[in-house]
Amino acid sequence: MRMLKYTISIFIVFVLLVCSCEQNKVVPKHSKDTINIETAPDQVSWDNEVLFVDSSYTKSKLKAKKAMIFRKRMQTVLEGGLYAEFYSRYTKKRMSYLTADKAEIDDRTKNMLARGNVVVVSDSSKTKVETQLLHWNNKTQMFYSSEFVKVTSPNEIIQGYGFESDQDLVNYKIFRVSGERK
């Protein structure tokens, strides 16, 4: 009888222990550092240098601190500062260069949108363009902007809103102009 009481007591303690246990579920905490797979880049690289070549002719050279490639939206985002050089098809010499804080490149068209402290300098005309937003159309080989721009050349300083120019900064237009002649 004593053995039966002892067995029943152990069984009751065991049942109470099993019933009192609950499964602990690990719930992930959401934080700022959570990566959204839908919007995350497919590739990330640092200290990049890329040549844009067409039939053995180097059209431009681009250097960027950080590059992120998004395959779905066919876009490359450059951050951490960038430097781009544009070359003449005929002389193979550098025609102008561009610096900016960051840029977005359409991988289909190779058009570029440069943002933040954008500066373009022409080697031949010694003209400098400063703005916060500048587009590069790869097909037409033209720069353009709808934002405020400042153009400094050896002869004048012109400011205004809206800008369009060839890559040499020789043939440029400013649409809403204000400025001074040196």
In this predicted structure, the answer to whether residue 33 has a pLDDT above a threshold of 90 is: no
Q: Which residue has the higher pLDDT, 55 or 120?
A: 120
Domains of the chain: 40-181 (2.60.450.10)
Q: 63-69, long-range: CB within 8 Å, 24+ apart, which pairs?
A: 64/103, 67/43, 68/41, 68/43, 68/44, 69/41, 69/42, 69/43, 69/44, 69/107
Q: Which residue has the higher pLDDT, 133 or 124?
A: 133
The model's confidence at residue 53, banded by pLDDT at 50, 70 and 90, is: confident
In this predicted structure, the answer to whether residue 115 has a pLDDT above a threshold of 90 is: yes
Q: Which residue has the higher pLDDT, 164 or 181?
A: 164
* Cα 76 from chain centre: 6
Spatial distance between the Cα atoms of 84 and 92, rounded to a whole number of angstroms: 15
* 0.85 surpassed by pTM: no
In this predicted structure, the answer to whether residue 58 has a pLDDT above a threshold of 60 is: yes
pLDDT number for residue 129: 97
Half-sphere exposure of 16 (CA within 13 A, CB side): 6
